[in-house]
Amino acid sequence: MELQAYAPYLGVVGFIIALVIFGVIKAQPVGNETMREIADAIHSGAMAFLKREYMVLVAFIGFVFFLVSLAMNFATALSFVGGAFCSMLCGFIGMKAATAANVRTTEAARSDGQGKALMVSFNGGAVMGLAVASMGLFGVGIVFKLFGGDPATVGNINGFAMGASSIALFARVGGGIYTKAADVGADLVGKVEAGIPEDDPRNPGVIADNVGDCVGDTAGMGADIFESYVGSIVATIAIAAAAGPDLLAQIAHGDQARHVAMSMPLILAMIGLVFSLIGIASMKFLKGINPAAALRYTTFIAAGGFLVAALIAILALDMRAGVFWAILVGCLAGIAIGLITEYYTSSSPVMRIAEASKTGPATNIIHGLAVGLESCAAPILVICIGILVANNFAGLYGIGIAAVGMLATVGVTMTVDAYGPIADNAGGISEMAGLGPEVREITDGLDAIGNTTAAVGKGFAIGSAALTALALFSAYATTVKLQAIDLIHPKTVIGLLIGGALPFFIGALTMTSVGRAAGKMVDEIRRQFREIPGLLEGKPGVKPEPGKCVDISARAALHEMILPGMTAVVAPVLVGFVLGKEALGGMLAGATLAGVLLALMMANGGGAWDNAKKFIERGDLAGEKKGTDAHKAAVVGDTVGDPFKDTSGPAMNILIKLMSVVSLVIAPLLINS
Amino acid sequence: MELQAYAPYLGVVGFIIALVIFGVIKAQPVGNETMREIADAIHSGAMAFLKREYMVLVAFIGFVFFLVSLAMNFATALSFVGGAFCSMLCGFIGMKAATAANVRTTEAARSDGQGKALMVSFNGGAVMGLAVASMGLFGVGIVFKLFGGDPATVGNINGFAMGASSIALFARVGGGIYTKAADVGADLVGKVEAGIPEDDPRNPGVIADNVGDCVGDTAGMGADIFESYVGSIVATIAIAAAAGPDLLAQIAHGDQARHVAMSMPLILAMIGLVFSLIGIASMKFLKGINPAAALRYTTFIAAGGFLVAALIAILALDMRAGVFWAILVGCLAGIAIGLITEYYTSSSPVMRIAEASKTGPATNIIHGLAVGLESCAAPILVICIGILVANNFAGLYGIGIAAVGMLATVGVTMTVDAYGPIADNAGGISEMAGLGPEVREITDGLDAIGNTTAAVGKGFAIGSAALTALALFSAYATTVKLQAIDLIHPKTVIGLLIGGALPFFIGALTMTSVGRAAGKMVDEIRRQFREIPGLLEGKPGVKPEPGKCVDISARAALHEMILPGMTAVVAPVLVGFVLGKEALGGMLAGATLAGVLLALMMANGGGAWDNAKKFIERGDLAGEKKGTDAHKAAVVGDTVGDPFKDTSGPAMNILIKLMSVVSLVIAPLLINS
């Protein structure tokens, strides 16, 4: 048996390790009664939301399964269900781990100090990270085994990516609306109106806010990265399957060229998983050093090992060296975009916004928007260089394999991503449980690092989404057998324009949803402060009713995710069948362009606003501190940035991938259009 | 001689009429001493800025003249200077008329009432409108006479459009920064900090604000529309000149098909100017009715007459009927986009923003951004339908001629546009001169109508810019002899990505410029309030020093316009020569897409914020009025919207046209790249 045939088994092994780590977390002490109570509330809120979300999704999956069976074939429909199921399982396990690890991190900080607390939260993230990498490998490995050997059936694999994408959209948009409705609502009444601190136990919206961190930042992000990971592999397989002789000659030597080219993405994913495991394990030896450095080293170890092993595999399989350069450039592009994101959300741009807060909220907003707009240029250039190099060395296949290279060590990068919201939650629990400043200092420290990793992770998510979407776009173009997607044809231009308008439209829908849901949350929290006697004064024994806030967020999220989700699925089908395959190609290009730009602007602008507020709170802006007018202006910016960076921005990543993958799936029907 | 040969003469006639109207305005009474003083300050501020701006521009023109002579040929360079000069002359005359008409409108309102005041301000706008239409017709008529007859020289005509575009960018960006630095600065200190009303004579920034209305909204808008007008004609000539036999057969019958196709844009412009004159003249009979309706009727009369005459011309010249349908769809698209803009800046979206102001500035901003994002979809669909229909009936030529159709009656549409800032100025003068509520009521009424016409005009400017850019793009593609601009080629995708990032980058630059310049303005106004004893208290005889504020705005505007201007000119040249003609094609498509989307989002979002504030001020939001927290939140939104709608948004229109026209000019050099 060839190496890639073992992919599903390796996937199972990875998943078992994830479950073992989960067991280790569960074995840690939970802390005192109050902590347990808070953690239970977060856990049950998160699980209740997930359950309701998944019920909606099962209905959606059934419906699409039916459609795909009819329009395409039963095997593709089955792949679709498989992809959707794997994504949902990742979300479920990851969330279970996150809601177990949060309180145990707090307890570790209380009883053992920083090193142990870092370890627990990192392990919590590792469950999600490994689940994503393992389930992806397992699932794609299986569908590749079933359909990868025969050119007539290889298209069925695309269904798996479409399943993963569909779930991702709903998880990201639903989770994003949930978390920001709660966050914005709780902040507007708590911090701004009532003047009580963040995560104050009197605030009825605080539990919902913490639940939101789990469903948005953990489950949503996991589904997003899972989709990129699966999408990049599937796209590269599709490009290899449809490659002409010239392209094949650029990829590998000999008669087995196509077979090798198709297997390589899976082999890279396998190598990536192995080195992710090594990276994660290395944390055991790194936990003593500075936590930020420790987190960075785990990813470096994994990436370094991965690259060496990838080179060996390429040489061993008689592929051309150019394939390695494409992989390398993919890895480097991922890192570069992460660093650019870090710059825009931490350095001089943040100071500019903080400085502008002195003249009020309007100038804060103007400068924040300017930073967001500005931050698009550098990552776009990085992506352009990546495409240029990858294409130069290995044609369209190079673009796909570069994306795979960027995402192969997703096991560890996702671990670091998922660590953030756990640390954030741990801080919230220590505040709500009144654990005192020493504990809070440790959790705050971990949380601050989490904010940086989150910013870098968002950049990575956008970069990988862009490259994956481009790879899927190339796969679409190859599969649909177009000689050219010609911008001189007015139909292509029309597709381009419609595609470009879609991200703006989805952005509008999601921003409005957050605004509307936050408004409902504000009303409910105001009501509780008004109607529950002694709540605002902090009378002992008087407790808020967080369940109602959790319910409001959940309802709003589920209701509001439908329209954007359906738009993303229906639009490419409509354009493809009405205006033709060339217009659909234009549409994908337009949507990818506008989507990536908006995603960058929103993520970086939002992150910069957030940190400008923190900059003032830390007292780093001369003469200003919490409570001054400049700080109030910065809070306005932060509140605007919330839906930017956590709802609408991330929705763009999924939108562009989902539209591309839907197009790839329906491509066979469009060949003769 | 054929009809189009008379174009320059008709242009001269139109220009003489514009001068006559200017004389009529000058003959009107100026009012009392205070009014004269204020008007003089605005006039001299505006002229001083224009002089300094033009000095920078002359240097720029000289430099580009030199480059174009070297790289292309002397004739193109000469055309370039001609286009630049015509645009500058329009700006100069239009500004002269506007600064003469503003105070005379105030005086007319004081002594004669609304009808007369409407007439004076409308005539002020008509000078600009006719100058734009006449100088465009004159200039293109001349270069067409010189170079239009020979395929070897027809490319020289493109230089004229490039000249117009270059001036437009600087005028729009410089003017936009000027006006918003003054506006935002004056508002932040005056309205927000000192709590004095808008246009209060104690505020040192008020004169600069009123100067800004002239240089931004009059001269800037004029240069923008002049560019679209000239660009659409030149693009259509270029498409016709390079059209293959299939396309020619779609346009006209017989051997003269190419000649007729090339002449038609000029003939349409001539017809448009004639009916614009009729439309303007009809105001004499309409001034008694409701002013908003009167303004609308003048444009309807012109458009109706134009369409009938255009149909006759098409039939007389043995063109195919499809050309008429393209023209018709261009006209209708212009009107539709205007109406959509009016909806987003006046109806339920505005109420949504006003309602959201109740929960503070953050929700106001979130909803405003959402409205801006949402407002992109419908105009994009209109443009798509326009392209589809125009292309269906007359191929790429149809897209060009649709743009010409949209812009042919520019004489009257620009008149209505230019009327707005004059009415706005007239209101400012009556406030500053303390003319009492009756006068103020008339000028406020005219100003309110001006706000609507401004919003519609902005929509029209964007729509025409989009269509013109697409026409120029088609002309580029035809001229550069590309078989396809293929999105499957990675270089095209790279061009697309870079092109898309540019509007975001220019948006960032201009937003930051406004923020920075407004900050300087705030410091200066604060200084004057602090250091001039009795100023803030309104002690009789104590006057501010508006000259310093005028100077700050002018310096900032001239300094900050250089980088965005140079970027727009240099980027296409760089991409064209480094990455090739296909990448440049992708770049134009990406820039047009992202530019149009941002322009729509910014213009409509900004307009909606502005009107949401006015909605609250009028007392239309239950329980809220001037000075409540909701109103303060709405003021924040309005301040953010200012640079959106008057600086960065309009800059996008020019950016996309300028990049396209630069590409068209250098196209002959790229044929063999």
Closest partner CB to B387 (pick from A470, A494, A501): A494
- What pLDDT, on a 0 to 100 scale, did the predictor assign at position B1? 63
What is the DSSP secondary structure assignment for residue A252, as one 8-state letter? B
User: What angle in degrees, to the nearest 10, is found between the helix axes of A321-344 and A437-479?
Assistant: 140
Q: Chain A residue closest to B394 (CA)?
A: A490
- What pLDDT, on a 0 to 100 scale, did the predictor assign at position B431? 85
Each residue's pLDDT tens digit, B538-548: 888 888 888 88
- What distances in angstroms separate CA B179 from CA A361, B239, B518, B550, B645, one per listed residue? 20, 37, 10, 10, 11
Determine contact, residues B10/B92, Cβ cutoff 8 Å. Answer: no
Residues of A in contact with B176 (CB under 8 A): none
A474 at B interface, C-beta within 8 A: yes
Q: Chain B residue closest to A369 (CA)?
A: B508
Closest by Cα among A669, A660, A594 to A162: A660
Q: Chain A residue closest to B635 (CA)?
A: A362
Each residue's pLDDT tens digit, A496-549: 999 999 999 999 999 999 888 888 888 888 888 888 888 888 888 888 888 888
Determine contact, residues B349/B374, Cβ cutoff 8 Å. Answer: yes
The span from the CA of A601 to the CA of B593, in Å, is 16
Q: Chain A residue closest to B478 (CA)?
A: A488
Suggest the residue from B371, B373, B567 to mutate for an interface test with chain A (most A CBs closer than 10 A): B373
DSSP for B62-97, written as a single string = HHHHHHHHHHS-HHHHHHHHHHHHHHHHHHHHHHHH
- What pLDDT, on a 0 to 100 scale, did the predictor assign at position A135? 96
Closest partner CB to A470 (pick from B361, B493, B601): B493
Contacts of A328 (CB under 8 A, 6+ apart): A307, A405
Are A594 and B589 an interchain contact pair (Cβ–Cβ within 8 Å)? no
A237 at B interface, C-beta within 8 A: no
A192 at B interface, C-beta within 8 A: yes
A247 at B interface, C-beta within 8 A: no
Each residue's pLDDT tens digit, A35-58: 998 888 888 888 888 888 888 899
Chain B residues 257-286 with CB within 8 Å of chain A: none
Residue B542 region, left (φ>0) first, then alpha (ψ -120 to 50), else beta? beta
Mean pLDDT, rounded, of chain B = 90
Mean pLDDT, rounded, of chain A = 90
What are the tokens at B111? 């002594």
The span from the CA of B481 to the CA of B477, in Å, is 6
Are B640 and A369 an interchain contact pair (Cβ–Cβ within 8 Å)? yes
Contacts of A137 (CB under 8 A, 6+ apart): A7, A8, A10, A11, A14, A266, A269, A270, A273
Closest by Cα among B318, B224, B240, B310 to B273: B310
Closest partner CB to B498 (pick from A380, A494, A519): A380
Suggest the residue from A383, A467, A502, A504 to mutate for an interface test with chain B (most B CBs closer than 10 A): A504
Residues of B in contact with A363 (CB under 8 A): 184, 188, 515, 518-519, 639
A340 at B interface, C-beta within 8 A: no
B597 at A interface, C-beta within 8 A: yes
Q: Which of A244-253, A596-605, A618-627, B244-253 reaches the highest mean pLDDT?
A: A596-605
Burial of A2 (0-12, 13-18, 19+ CB in 10 A): exposed
The span from the CA of A190 to the CA of B528, in Å, is 39
Determine contact, residues B478/B242, Cβ cutoff 8 Å. Answer: yes
Min mean pLDDT across A328-332, A540-544, B59-63 is at A540-544
A475 at B interface, C-beta within 8 A: no
- Residue A673 binned pLDDT confidence (cut-offs 50, 70, 90): low
A359 at B interface, C-beta within 8 A: yes
Determine contact, residues A571/A595, Cβ cutoff 8 Å. Answer: no
Are B518 and A361 an interchain contact pair (Cβ–Cβ within 8 Å)? no
Are A508 and B367 an interchain contact pair (Cβ–Cβ within 8 Å)? no
Rounded average pLDDT over A633-657: 91
Query: Minimal Cα–Cα distance from B522 to chain A, Å?
Result: 9
Closest partner CB to B188 (pick from A359, A501, A585): A359
Residues of B in contact with A575 (CB under 8 A): none
Rounded average pLDDT over B519-524: 87
- What pLDDT, on a 0 to 100 scale, did the predictor assign at position A1? 63
Residues of A in contact with B586 (CB under 8 A): 487
- What pLDDT, on a 0 to 100 scale, did the predictor assign at position B186? 86
Rounded average pLDDT over A137-166: 91
Side chain identity at B289, as an amino acid letter? Answer: I
What is the DSSP secondary structure assignment for residue A627, as one 8-state letter? T
pTM score: 0.92
Q: Chain B residue closest to A476 (CA)?
A: B488
Residues of B in contact with A180 (CB under 8 A): none
Determine contact, residues A190/A198, Cβ cutoff 8 Å. Answer: yes
Determine contact, residues B450/B418, Cβ cutoff 8 Å. Answer: no
- Tally the C-alpha atoms within 13 A of residue A67's C-alpha that lie toward its C-beta: 14
Closest partner CB to B487 (pick from A359, A388, A586): A586
Query: Quick one: what percent of chain A has pLDDT higher than 90?
Result: 51
Each residue's pLDDT tens digit, A265-291: 999 999 999 999 999 999 988 877 888
Closest partner CB to B377 (pick from A387, A501, A518): A501
- What pLDDT, on a 0 to 100 scale, did the predictor assign at position B446? 87
A363 at B interface, C-beta within 8 A: yes
Chain A residues 550-569 with CB within 8 Å of chain B: none
Query: Minimal Cα–Cα distance from B99 to chain A, Å?
Result: 30
Q: Chain A residue closest to B384 (CA)?
A: A494
What is the DSSP secondary structure assignment for residue B667, as one 8-state letter? H
B196 at A interface, C-beta within 8 A: no
Query: Quick one: what percent of chain A has pLDDT higher than 70?
Result: 100
Residue B412 bridge partners (DSSP)? none
Each residue's pLDDT tens digit, A76-113: 999 999 999 999 999 999 999 999 999 999 999 999 88
Rounded average pLDDT over A575-596: 94
User: Across chain A, which distance is largest between two alpha carbons, in Å?
Assistant: 80
Residue B319 bridge partners (DSSP)? B252
- Residue B14 binned pLDDT confidence (cut-offs 50, 70, 90): very high
Each residue's pLDDT tens digit, B384-428: 999 999 999 999 999 999 999 999 999 999 999 899 889 988 988
Are B365 and A487 an interchain contact pair (Cβ–Cβ within 8 Å)? no
Suggest the residue from B193, B352, B363 to mutate for an interface test with chain A (most A CBs closer than 10 A): B363
The span from the CA of A598 to the CA of A649, in Å, is 7
- In this prediction, the answer to ipTM > 0.90 reads yes
The span from the CA of B274 to the CA of A293, in Å, is 73
Q: Does A434 have pLDDT greater than 90?
A: no
Residues of B in contact with A488 (CB under 8 A): 396, 474, 477, 482, 484-485, 585
B484 at A interface, C-beta within 8 A: yes
Are A501 and B387 an interchain contact pair (Cβ–Cβ within 8 Å)? no
Determine contact, residues B333/B463, Cβ cutoff 8 Å. Answer: yes
Query: Minimal Cα–Cα distance from B160 to chain A, Å?
Result: 24
Residues of B in contact with A507 (CB under 8 A): 370, 373
Helices (H), A254-347: 257-286, 291-316, 321-344
What are the tokens at A335? 């890192």
Please give the torsion angle defined by the CA atoms of residues A150, A156, A161 and A167, in that order, rounded to the nearest 10 degrees.
-160
Side chain identity at B120, as an amino acid letter? Answer: V
- What pLDDT, on a 0 to 100 scale, did the predictor assign at position A261? 93
Q: Does B106 have pLDDT greater than 90?
A: yes
- Residue A609 binned pLDDT confidence (cut-offs 50, 70, 90): very high
Distance of CA B501 to the CA centre of its chain: 23
Query: Minimal Cα–Cα distance from A396 to chain B, Å?
Result: 8
Match 């003047």 to its residue by tokens. Answer: A195
Residues of B in contact with A597 (CB under 8 A): 500-501, 504, 594
Rounded average pLDDT over A207-222: 85
B594 at A interface, C-beta within 8 A: yes
Residues of A in contact with B399 (CB under 8 A): 490
Closest by Cα among B474, B500, B384 to A498: B384
Each residue's pLDDT tens digit, B574-613: 999 999 999 999 999 999 999 999 999 999 999 999 989 9
